[in-house]
Amino acid sequence: MKRTNQFVVRPRSEQDRELLHELLDASASLWNELTYERRQQYFDGESVWDTADYRKQYVGVLGSATAQQLIRKSKSAWNSFFSLKEDGEKCSPPGYWGNEDDGRTLRTYVRNDQYTLEMGDRSRLEIPVGKELKEKYGLGHTERLRLEVAGDPKWDGKQGRLELYYDESSGQFRAFQPVTVVNSRLDSPLADETAALDIGANNIVACTTTTGKQYLYKGRDLFERFRETTREISRLQSKLRDGRYSSNRIRRLYRRRTRRRDHAMDALARDLIERLYDEGVSTVYVGDLTDVLETHWSVRTNAKTHNFWAFRTFIDRLACTAEEYGITVEVRTEAWTSQTCPNCGSTTDTTRHQDTLTCQCGFEGHADLSASETFLRRHETDVPRPMARPVRFEWDDHDWSEIPHSHERPKEARTNRSIHG
């Protein structure tokens, strides 16, 4: 069974930091160039597998094994894309790791037999680099880049391919190390609870668990800050001279906007998964957002679904974080959950107005929380009725903080209780 350890990686000197940054930047360049060629071939109706030899082009910087890992990762992404298309799913071809305006994602992958990770009094990580970087930064012919490591491994087992990336929001390098462990070594063998998530725009996550808990992560203020930055970008672009499309200030705003969003999403994923782990949740159901990503007639809604809410990236981070805790994330269809009354099950007698869902049976409740409850009941037969007020969270630029009095008696009430139970 696969599990993941996460560490903070610290270069020992400014030179090591520059070397590592250059290594990750070269990895992003390889990925983007290969992705561009394959996308062009795909849209031209040609085979995406007949590409240039990018391993040979980047071996001097990355080393042969690391360059090959990135190429294999790209192949895996394209194979997944074609499999989804064959199954009739709506999906897009693999994309790029950012650009100059939005900020490039700095990431690389190191084969499991090419790195050494040692924990203890002097925890360290050693990774290979290409000959050109060795010569540039004064490393010996057989020497590898040595980095300090902070963090305690949660799982112990056969190590897998290492993912190393730069977290721009915190200014730290981080590493994800997949390991293979046997079932008997899991630290939560009795965890058998389930949770279901409704993911949206105004409320990023509404969660209901089989323990009777509900969590709501509000996103309106976060989105408004995103819009303010977007408006400032548009204002600055309108003042550019003819023939110019960007500036240093505009590029900085793009990067700041992206970093703020990603930092909040990463923190949300970790905060939620830690809470679910403490409740003994072993499986999390997430709604398939394919239909949500369709283009909307509303400019504001379109900005939320396409520009602000990086849904697929968020689900990937959620699944990655859940893997650290031994929790499985499953994506399932959530059709009609937002129109279904959790009291009587009707989809025709309900009305949604902003965050409120009402039904002719007498039910009135929070629309997104109700959707997550309905979603959970589709997959679990024994779901207790949430009675306590859901815990609500707002983003304060650093953490997801609980809104005061969020545990008080809820407005939401099933006034006609005889219908349900």
Co-location of 162 and 14 in the same domain: yes
Best CA proximity match to 41, nearest among 30, 32, 51 = 51
Co-location of 200 and 148 in the same domain: no
3-state secondary structure (DSSP) of residue 297: coil
Cα 253–chain centre separation: 22
Co-location of 120 and 260 in the same domain: no
Q: Is 409 or 158 the better-scoring residue by pLDDT?
A: 158
Co-location of 162 and 211 in the same domain: no
Q: What is the CA radius of gyration of the chain?
A: 24
Predicted confidence (pLDDT) per residue in 322-337, tens digit: 877 878 888 887 777 8
Predicted confidence (pLDDT) per residue in 117-161, tens digit: 998 778 899 999 999 999 999 999 999 999 999 987 877 888 999
pLDDT at 185: 43
pLDDT at 163: 92
Report the share of the chain in percent with pLDDT over 70. Answer: 86
Task: Name the strand (E) or helix (H) holding 110.
Answer: strand 107-110
The most confident of the ranges 47-56, 300-309, 385-394 is 47-56
Range of the domain at 255: 193-419
Least confident of 73-87, 192-206, 291-305: 291-305
Residue 416, pLDDT above cutoff 60: no
Residue 412, pLDDT above cutoff 50: no
Q: Give the mean pLDDT of the chain.
A: 83
Residue 402, pLDDT above cutoff 80: yes
Co-location of 16 and 126 in the same domain: yes
Tally of domains in the chain: 2
Within 8 A by CB and 6+ apart from 227, the residues are 303
Co-location of 134 and 263 in the same domain: no
Residue 382 burial class via C-beta count within 10 angstroms: exposed 0-12, middle 13-18, buried 19 and up: exposed
Residue 208, pLDDT above cutoff 90: yes
Co-location of 131 and 223 in the same domain: no
Confidence of residue 306 (pLDDT cuts 50, 70, 90): very low
Residue 294, pLDDT above cutoff 50: no
